[in-house]
A and B are shown apart, each in its own frame.
Chain A
Amino acid sequence: MSTEWPEEIYGLLREADIDQFAYVPDAGHDHLIKRSIADPDVHSIALTTEEEGVGLLAGAHLGGGRGVLLMQSSGVGNCINLLSLTRAGRFPFLTIISMRGDFGEGNPWQIPMGQSTQPVLEACDVTCLKIEDAGDVAATMTAAITMAFNNEMPVAVLLGQKLLGAKKF
């Protein structure tokens, strides 16, 4: 997988003063996670479950900070009830989701959550912006950052398997 567009994402997040990087380890987010760990100016927060990221990011905003939640599509299901905090409190929420169960998926266990990721997020009022092509990364990430923080709304950027490549089995 290229590290060029992930590095572009990291740069855009840092330019936007995002300094809390919350994640559950994931191959699709490998570069962003490693960059956040190596960067002395950010908090790199390993979670035990993705929903902790929903609370963490709301707490960051309460204190005047900014965070991003890096997760795989399977983690979206873990977040659903806690997104009521985001919506009830009108907190900004930015998540970047590496898709599984998407274009070219070969593991049937990944299909259910992968295919329902976007409908489930949209049912919870999370705006979804999907990226399929590396050339769209910068424009889409910039749009997502602006929308999440200027409007104090929940936004998910979905990194599709056309972009990431489907895992080989």
Chain B
Amino acid sequence: MRKIITSIFVFGLIVLTTVPTKSYSNLPTNEELQVGLSQEFENFNPMIMSMLATTWMYNMVGRTLMVLNEDAEWEPQLAKKIPSLENGLAERFTEDGVEKIRAVWEIVDNAKWGDGTDLTCRDFKFAREVALAPTVAITERETYEQVEEIIIDENNPRRCTFKYKEAKWNFNQIPKFYALPEHLERPIFEKYKEQPEGYEQHSLYTTSPTNPGLYNGPYVVTEMTLGSHTIFERNPYFFGGPAKINRIITKVISNTGTLEANLRSGTIDMISVLGMSFDQALAFNQRVQGRNLPYNVNFQPSLVYEHLDLNLDNPFLQDVRVRKALVYAIDRPGLTNALFGGKQPPAYHNLAPLDPWFTNDPKKIVVYPYRRREAARLLDDARWKLRNDGFRYNENGERLELTIMTTAGNQVRELVQVYLQDQWRSIGIRVRIQNEPPRVFFGQTTNRRRFTGVAMYAWVSSPESNPRSSLSCDRIPTEENGWSGQNYPGWCNERVTELLEKLDLEFDEQKRLNIIHEVLYHYTNEVPVIPLYYRSDISVTPINLRGYQLPGHQFSATNHVERWYLEDPKKMENR
């Protein structure tokens, strides 16, 4: 018996020690790349897809007129050129007393659907028709609604004029204006358009997702199993030339704790941006460097803005000195260095550094360094006196007490929450933690303003977008307005509201910048919201993957998937 055990043990040791630490032989080649995603996907009908995983994957098979590239600049994709007032492709005009805009979009000459049919303006016009049908459950209809009419050039079906119903400076930023293959989808739409959700349920994207004619991107879908995997193969008709990787397989691995194990056992070669949690990525990065594993762990600060909403109806929080004390007492650089290895930058306000409107100039906005004793002094000023139990009390004998709420089960937020509790405790504020499942938190607590003190969550917005919905006076959710609007703190500054109204209609870039900087000044000065940090996007790629860049905004890396290629592992070994 003992002999058997010993031999098993020895065998185990041999197996363990012979597993090579850095093995190039397991690296993927241009033949096939397997990508792990931690989230489920639905289907690739661009009208209805709403899951992040679907959008990530859609960009491998479908393209739109334009996209924000890795340097956060607009870049035409299906369009030849982005029309603007400066390049003469767009013009302002007045119709019935309303100022409007006309812009000419021209689709690249070789744009085709995956079955060889030409992609023309008719496909965009059809998409708009579907989007506006009352029976289709599209989430953001505004994109299509802002275009009043699409007029197709009689001589060139790839050239058309979009007539916008309002003259907004960002009329030409329509990255979510998708095209639908009219030649395939029109009959289905005509048949089911009277039935609620009928089109979506019978669309070819749902019933026959492997039909190549549905896609215009570098790849087409050749196999799809909901909840499990999708196989993408090269689209010979892609307008941007053939993609370099032959086949890409995406797999859903919803438990993030096993992503690393899957990666190292070879079930997947790469972890997409929808994958590891921050802590896992940090730890894995250490192991990758320590043991020289053949992966790159990519971190990219993103537009996701983690913050604390302060409910300004709370009598304690109505005093701006208390709010400022709360900010001064948070060691944000310490927080991000200690918990995030410095890889998620501290936030100044609601705009991320990637945003062209960003500023951290102390002349333009109010900047709060970590000054614990300054915070204590502000509270002393506000007549919150420290008592022997270590907490502060006002003249009525009320204790300075706040409830901080966030989404239960989100480990990073819960860590930060406990960290904040400790920091505020040190200036004499008692902090109670009460977390709720995301459904409850977003379903009734934030959007009905039921949090009494502080709510921690994140916003994500595209660069240069108007923050009106979360900052204007008229966007405070109330019973009367049916709880619409996202100004959850209940912050009302008339000047800010007025400035944000003007922002969309301002065509002068410098003036827009001035407007937004003034808004940011008020935002940072009055502290309705405490900025915490900007989240980072994370992905893990094999070391031989080239042409890949993590963008950090919601336009995914797959928008340039045709540039990805895998260097030959053998060549790498010879280096």
Partners in one complex: no
